[in-house]
Amino acid sequence: MHPLITLVVQRIALGLILLLAVSVLIFLGVEALPGDTAQAILGQGATPETLANMRESLGLNEPAISRYFTWLGHALTGDFGVALTNKIDIAQAIGQRLGNTLFLAACAGVIAVPFAIGLGLLAARHNGRWPDKLISGVTLAAISLPEFVAAYFVIYLLTQVFPVLQPVSMVFPGMGFLERLHAVALPVIVLVMVVLAHMMRMTRAAILNVMQSPYIETAELKGLSPMQVIWRHALPNAVAPIVSVVVINLAYLVVGVVVVEVVFSYNALGQYLVDHVTKRDLPVVQAVGLIFAAVYIGLNIFADVVGIVANPRLRHPK
Partner 1 sequence: MRIPFSALLGLAVMGLMLLSSVLAQWVAPYGLNETVGKVWENPSATFWLGTDQIGRDILSRLLYGGQVTIFVAAASSALAFSMGAFFGFLAAVRGGWVDTTLSRIVDVMMAVPSLIVALVVLSVLPLTLPTLILVMGVLDSTRVFRLSRAVAADIAVMDYVEAAKLRGEGQSWIIFREILPNAMSPLVAEFGMRFIFAVLFISTLSFLGLGIQPPDTDWGGMVRENKEGLIYGKSAAMVPAAAIAVLAIAVNTVADWILSRTSSLKGGRNG
Binding interface with partner 1 (CB under 8 A): 18-19, 21-22, 25-26, 29-30, 33-35, 40, 140-141, 144-149, 152-153, 155-156, 159-160, 167-168, 252, 254-255, 258-259, 262-263, 273-274, 276-278, 280-282, 285-286, 289, 292-293, 296-297, 300
Q: What is the spatial distance between Cα 186 and Cα 202, in angstroms, rounded to a whole number?
A: 25
Cβ proximity to partner 1: between 234 and 254 the closer is: 254
Distance of CA 121 to the CA centre of its chain: 24
The least CB distance from residue 187 to partner 1, in Å, is: 14
The least CB distance from residue 167 to partner 1, in Å, is: 5
Cβ proximity to partner 1: between 127 and 159 the closer is: 159
Cβ proximity to partner 1: between 266 and 292 the closer is: 292
Q: Coil, strand, or helix at residue 44?
A: coil
The least CB distance from residue 148 to partner 1, in Å, is: 5
Cβ proximity to partner 1: between 25 and 227 the closer is: 25
CB 158 within 8 A of CB 77: no
Cβ proximity to partner 1: between 8 and 158 the closer is: 158
Q: What is the spatial distance between Cα 256 and Cα 192, in angstroms, rounded to a whole number?
A: 10
The least CB distance from residue 291 to partner 1, in Å, is: 10
Cβ proximity to partner 1: between 19 and 224 the closer is: 19
- For residue 82, which phi and psi values (nearest 5 degrees)? -115, 155
All residues at 6 or more sequence positions from 44 whose CB lies less than 8 Å from its CB, including other chains = none
CB 188 within 8 A of CB 104: yes
Cβ proximity to partner 1: between 194 and 238 the closer is: 194
The least CB distance from residue 263 to partner 1, in Å, is: 8
Q: Coil, strand, or helix at residue 82?
A: strand
Q: How many CB atoms sit inside 10 A of residue 259's CB?
A: 20
CA distances (Å), origin 239, targets 76, 231, 298, 308, 312: 35, 11, 20, 11, 11
Q: What is the spatial distance between Cα 37 and Cα 251, in angstroms, rounded to a whole number?
A: 31
Q: Which long-range contacts (CB under 8 A, 24 or more apart) does 271-277 make?
A: 271/97, 272/93, 272/94, 272/97, 276/83, 276/85
The least CB distance from residue 114 to partner 1, in Å, is: 25
The least CB distance from residue 235 to partner 1, in Å, is: 29
